[in-house]
Structure 1
């Protein structure tokens, strides 16, 4: 049922006139008149908000089309609900201190609620306590904050990122099976960082599921590279020298396509590499950028990505990238506004999981997939 509601909402959302983004990094107000329109979300809300609510909403960055799509959903639903939203966000997801300052400023503005896509799991904890003390409900979206002060985050609207990472492994592993078993092979994973809940869980979901599938076929696995992912993985592993498959995890110093490309190149240049996974748009585009010089994807190495965007979609369509998992940032933005309205009205709210979908050249035009493939 939830998928049918999601598909209906995505179709309506994509057909509607989408509004311009909130700006490069400075906040802008979007004030809507009226507001008696009923809307449906994955959380089941079908009531217009009513009231004169103002929400502060902070995204992770304006660096990618993913966040631009989320902002469109936010603004679209603010118009439908008759509420005001002020969207802000740092220039890059690595600008953690800037986002914390934006959150503190949002609290000082005393809104009816705050939507937050946190760049870092722990950097916002003091600010969240301040929001709780001020009686301002916070709805996290895209990424949760597991260590948030009790009661400060009333709902998290996010893809089940661990499951979504596992989906990438479930589709990439069968395509690589014929290359496993005749000497040690390597699968690379590029994560843009090791601080946000969404990226960490996607990376771990891929590692753990790939290792599980390999074990079921009688192969041993080693996980090497970035300590956060190595230490937090639940995969049953052996030492690198004993492994049939080495999963090598790389994280750049900053969240840029260029630095992700540098990390990807180092893995893709190794003669035993057969597969790659990029856990978000920036990481996946980094893998594709690395391939511009190497020319190994689609033949020697099969790559899976995450998110959409014109670069990734084109690579999937022409076979350079084997496939990718996409979210629906538009629906995530819409749902965040709905939950904020319910929280501001004093209604009981809870976490709202959203779906991830595997797409490749064969299903990109399917009705359940196409609306998720934002530019």
Structure 2
């Protein structure tokens, strides 16, 4: 009889321990968001634009009470480094992944595998693959069209213009160049050169120097990001030329240049909102809430007329 009582007592203790443990797990899941994590993999963390995206993602993490890790390669052209970083983040089993793919075709196999287990949200650059949760970003061709129209409005029909694209195969910058080219040609301007600047200020400066040696009558330049636009501007200023330069992204340095009367304008995206919405919608997907398949983060045309207001906002999120 004593043996049966001992067995019953032990079973009761085990049952109670199991009950307590089960309740503990339930409390963690009920608490929910503070235990969740979102991995954000960007094209790079070396440029102001991506720093704004990072700031938005981290702000969302703080507001929503979730852990957000943000990583990115040393340059947008480091495609394999980004793939390695993405695989490393996946191996850490986050609740969701937010990705801005530098070269979508290269990362699609990794994203397809990841989407079988966790929500995958794309920002800035889209890609088609099975299981994608949503895409959040600017319609890049539209941004390019607006940039081309803005540049054309400062020039005369028949003027020669140059296009400075990003790293080869980067869909975001490629789409911007395509849109700008359409707008410029429709306005009767002649595109005399189209060269990649790899989204890098120094590279774009060098590329523009070479272009100016062969094309001395250039009157305008559209660059697919602001770092390249500022690099182009250096080359133009060194030659003492009056060439209108339009950038894309709306970075703080570019807006300051507009206020100084240097850059003619920039087509601003909403990188801070893009990062914030990426994390916000990642959490929605984790919780099983409905997420729209495509979210347009919009554009803003920045010229000397509204640059001051834009600069104040950028400084407020750069702290």
Q: TM class, shorter-chain normalised?
A: 0.7 to 0.9
**Is 2:55 the counterpart of 1:72?**
yes
Query: Which of 238, 253, 262 is the matching residue for 1:311?
Result: 253
Query: Which of 263, 271, 278 is the matching residue for 2:216?
Result: 271
* Contact kept? 2:45, 2:71, Cα under 8 Å: no
Partner of 1:207: 181
Secondary structure of the corresponding residue to residue 134 of structure 2:
strand
Equivalent-residue separation in structure 2 for 1:326 and 1:213 (angstroms): 22
Partner of 1:359: 302
* Contact kept? 2:138, 2:297, Cα under 8 Å: yes
Deviation of residue 211 (structure 1)?
1.7
Query: Which of 155, 163, 177 is the matching residue for 1:176?
Result: 155
Secondary structure of the corresponding residue to residue 124 of structure 1:
helix
* Contact kept? 1:165, 1:205, Cα under 8 Å: yes
Equivalent-residue separation in structure 2 for 1:329 and 1:104 (angstroms): 24
Equivalent-residue separation in structure 1 for 2:177 and 2:93 (angstroms): 36
Secondary structure of the corresponding residue to residue 325 of structure 1:
strand
Deviation of residue 92 (structure 1)?
0.9
Deviation of residue 369 (structure 1)?
7.6
Equivalent-residue separation in structure 2 for 1:303 and 1:131 (angstroms): 41
Deviation of residue 67 (structure 1)?
1.1
Deviation of residue 271 (structure 1)?
2.0
Q: Deviations over 1:164-191 (max 9, x none)?
A: 11111111112102xx34xxx4210111
Partner of 1:197: 171
**Is 2:283 the counterpart of 1:283?**
no
Secondary structure of the corresponding residue to residue 176 of structure 1:
coil
RMSD: 2.1
Deviation of residue 314 (structure 1)?
2.8
Q: Deviations over 1:118-137 (max 9, x none)?
A: 1112110110121023x111
* Contact kept? 1:49, 1:342, Cα under 8 Å: no
- Higher normalized helix content (fraction of residues): 2
Structure 1, unmatched stretches of 5+, are 1-47, 215-220, 222-244
Partner of 1:258: 202
Equivalent-residue separation in structure 2 for 1:317 and 1:213 (angstroms): 27
Q: Against the structure 1 CA distance between its residues 317 and 345, is the aligned structure 2 distance closer, same or farther, given a 3 Å change threshold? A: same
Equivalent-residue separation in structure 2 for 1:144 and 1:308 (angstroms): 20
Equivalent-residue separation in structure 2 for 1:335 and 1:369 (angstroms): 22
